[in-house]
Structure 1
Amino acid sequence: MELDIIGLVSACSYALDCIEAELVHVTNRHGKRVAYISVCMAEKFGIIGEALQDLAMCALLHDNALTQYISEEVRHDLIKDQTMDISSKKLGVHCVYGEQNIKKLPFYTDVTNVILYHHENADGTGPFRKKWEEIPLFARIIHLCDTIDIIGNTGGYDQQNWEQAKAYLVKYENTIFDAECVKAFLEVFSEEKFADMGGEELEKRLWEKVPRKKQFCDEGTCKDLADFFAQIVDYKSEFTGMHSIGVAKKAAALAEHLGYDRLDIQKIYLAGALHDIGKMAIGNEILEKPGRLTDEEFSKMKNHAGYTYMILSEVEDFEEIRDWAALHHEKLDGSGYPFGKTAEELNEPERILACVDIYQALTEDRPYKKGMTHEQACGILEDMAQKGWIDAKITGQVRECFGEIH
């Protein structure tokens, strides 16, 4: 399968920005701004072509483990200290998780230690005590660019913040930042170019610099990509656990059971992995509410399917998989969301994802409930089919396919 991988990564960066906004109050497009500043600086070092694309991917994904970090580290500490300020806690451990997460992604060049060391300081006072000559150039670039964007977000990309950014770099040259990167940034960026960072043309400028070409992915690489994105989504809330991975696996198994070819099975697996990426934009106070949602809360929750559609619309030639992923809450009678589509507008893969999403949610354990048995879940699916909400034929195939597992 050919995929716009950097487009997928860019879409994922929007979802990560939503998490970062909750954690450290950085506004949306943080990942894209860091990527843009990074590639502008990298060109000064003579980096071009595929290496530039790899840098952009690393910059877009520099905080890819934030959800994992919050789930495994911060929540554990909050249990012990209810007054802890999450935003003030050191986040260095997310570099370790982030480095591990990207190992199976299809980079053109060697990006070892780029994510791991992107919070290291030039003088060796960072999390791993590495000095600038021990840190990959890409990591040093991202470290500086990450800081510059945070400064820009404190009050806007205006003259005052431009002067503040320059003064900060000069003050901490050879301590936080190495002299090479400081010099490159100050030679590349002007007050006018800094001001442009807050404008609407940012993404256009980024893609003008980065060669955004589709890559061929074999079945193994496609699965690795899908699992990477599913993991980021599933770590958003402990209440959803391994939901996206579960939907991806079961949707692919059902597609195989129905006789789909290998390419379409890969696509359905990817759609299953991505179907809830829009939940990254929904607050955990809603995602993790164990009781019944109010009408207002449910309205906000329903937005996640629309966010999935919006996020995946960024990816080139991805409309088919986007629709399979985003339409999993549509109903055949037109009462679903986000678009209120009817039976005539919903194809079989979209119906598969809808049925499997419900089945997975019913049968998986969550902190507030034990998963249902296969028989119980099938009974609910069949009742929903009788009401005209989901496909009765596919519901029957769910019983047959997954009954063999139980």
Structure 2
Amino acid sequence: MKLDVLGLIGACSYALDCVEAELVHVTNKHAKRVAYMSVCTAMQMGITDRKLQDLAVCALLHDNALTQYIQEEFHNDISHVDSIKELPHAGAHCVMGEQNIKDIPFYTDVKNVILYHHENADGSGPFGKKWNEIPLFARIIHMCDLLDMVCLRKAVDFETWKKISEFLSKIRGTVIDDECADAFMDAFTGVPVMNMEDSQIEKSLWEKVPREKIELTFEQIKNIAGFFARIVDYKSPFTSTHSIGVAECARKLSGYMGFDDETVQKMYLAGALHDIGKVAIGNDILEKPDRLTDEEFDTMKHHASYTYRILSDIDDFDEIRDWAAFHHERLDGTGYPFGKSADELNECERIMACVDIYQALTESRPYKKGMTHEKAIGILEDMAQKGWLDKNIVLKTDECFSV
């Protein structure tokens, strides 16, 4: 199966930015600006082609483990404001992030790039590495990450270049090494800083780093899917492992129903990504133990449209996007976010709606024990009788998962 991996990584970076915006108050499109500045700096140093693509991926995913760190170290309690502000500089999330990206397909060796992306040139970083012990890509990403958070945090305007120049002059030789600082200044002299404004950044980045679809094995697809699913599920332990559970159910049921191998693989990926829009929903709603108010439920319903929006920027991904985003649509048109009716929902979209509910009912969560297969099927059959779910797919779900 061919996949626009860079586009998928770019979409994922938006999801990560949503989490960072909630936890450490960086602005949206932070990762794409870091990637753009990193790529421009690297090009000034003579780096091209696939090395440049790998740098872009690392920059887009530099804080991929932030939600994992929150959950494992702080048990998802973001009330420790002073600690939260320092999270991007904690060595623990660098270790986790380095481990996470091992399943992403790279062209070149990117060992220790994520691990050391918060090291300072003078050795005062989390691991005490000096600039000549740190991979070049890690040094570049560290510089651009700091510049974005300090100088582009609120807005990109015509005063931004002045702020960047002044800040870089203060930290060069201590936090940032001279080689990277010089390359950045040379790369951006005469280049409009407005290229990094929110409305321009995607265009600016992809002009520098061409995207191409890559042939992947199913094992590679599963690894990538697992990476993205963890980002969603780590945001809320209430739904821990839900995304991969849906992916496995979608794979098994579509295979049982006779779909070809490529469709089964796409269904697995769609299942893993179906809730990626939840990263844009606040944890005060995601983790509320009581019944949601009507207003809160309306907010929660937006997650499916966010999934649609996030996945729309990936080349030739419309089919998988729709399978993922339409999982709350109903055959009678009463679902959300688009109110699709039966003649607008294909079989794969109907399968996803069914397995999402089945997985949610049968999985255990901190506040409930999972239902038996028989009880879950009874609920699905009732929903089919109401005209919400496809009766035949509910029947196949019963047959497929009864043993």
| TM-score w.r.t. length of structure 2 | 0.96
Cα RMSD, aligned residues only: 1.6
Residue 237 of structure 2 aligns to a residue in which SS? coil
Residue 246 of structure 2 aligns to a residue in which SS? helix
CA contact (8 A) 2:267 2:320 kept: yes
Counterpart residue number, 2:85: 87
Counterpart residue number, 1:205: 204
- The reply to whether residue 106 of structure 1 matches residue 105 of structure 2 is yes
Counterpart residue number, 2:57: 57
Deviation sequence 1:107-137 (CA, Å, 0-9, x none): 1111111111100001111111111111111
* Cα shift at 1:73: 1.0
CA contact (8 A) 1:226 1:274 kept: yes
CA contact (8 A) 2:305 2:325 kept: yes
Residue 301 of structure 1 aligns to a residue in which SS? helix
Counterpart residue number, 1:384: 383
Counterpart residue number, 1:42: 42
CA contact (8 A) 2:253 2:397 kept: yes
State how far apart, in whole Å, the 2-side matches of 1:88 and 1:218 are: 38
Within 5 Å, give how 1:1-400 maps onto structure 2.
1-75=1-75, 78=77, 85-89=83-87, 90-190=89-189, 193-400=192-399
Residue 141 of structure 2 aligns to a residue in which SS? helix
* Cα shift at 1:163: 2.5
* Cα shift at 1:84: 5.8
State how far apart, in whole Å, the 2-side matches of 1:13 and 1:38 are: 15
Q: Equivalent pairs: percent with the same residue?
A: 63
Deviation sequence 1:219-241 (CA, Å, 0-9, x none): 11111111111111111101101
- Cα 1:345–1:112, aligned 2, differ >3 Å: closer, same or farther? same
Structure 2 unaligned runs (5+)?
A: none
Residue 126 of structure 2 aligns to a residue in which SS? coil
What is the letter of the counterpart of residue 86 of structure 1? Answer: I
CA contact (8 A) 1:159 1:191 kept: no
CA contact (8 A) 1:155 1:161 kept: no
State how far apart, in whole Å, the 1-side matches of 2:49 and 2:245 are: 37
State how far apart, in whole Å, the 2-side matches of 1:275 and 1:84 are: 33
Deviation sequence 1:284-309 (CA, Å, 0-9, x none): 00000111111110000000000000
- Cα 1:212–1:154, aligned 2, differ >3 Å: closer, same or farther? closer
- Cα 1:191–1:291, aligned 2, differ >3 Å: closer, same or farther? farther
State how far apart, in whole Å, the 1-side matches of 2:146 and 2:192 are: 17
- Cα 1:133–1:88, aligned 2, differ >3 Å: closer, same or farther? closer
What is the letter of the counterpart of residue 66 of structure 2? Answer: L
CA contact (8 A) 2:29 2:198 kept: no
* Cα shift at 1:83: 7.2
What is the letter of the counterpart of residue 5 of structure 2? Answer: I
What is the letter of the counterpart of residue 253 of structure 2? Answer: L
State how far apart, in whole Å, the 1-side matches of 2:53 and 2:6 are: 8
What is the letter of the counterpart of residue 68 of structure 1? Answer: Q
What is the letter of the counterpart of residue 317 of structure 1? Answer: D
State how far apart, in whole Å, the 2-side matches of 1:393 and 1:202 are: 46
State how far apart, in whole Å, the 1-side matches of 2:191 and 2:8 are: 30
CA contact (8 A) 1:26 1:153 kept: no
Residue 235 of structure 1 aligns to a residue in which SS? helix
State how far apart, in whole Å, the 2-side matches of 1:152 and 1:43 are: 22
Deviation sequence 1:156-190 (CA, Å, 0-9, x none): 23354432322222222121001100001111113
Residue 192 of structure 2 aligns to a residue in which SS? helix
State how far apart, in whole Å, the 1-side matches of 2:113 and 2:14 are: 20
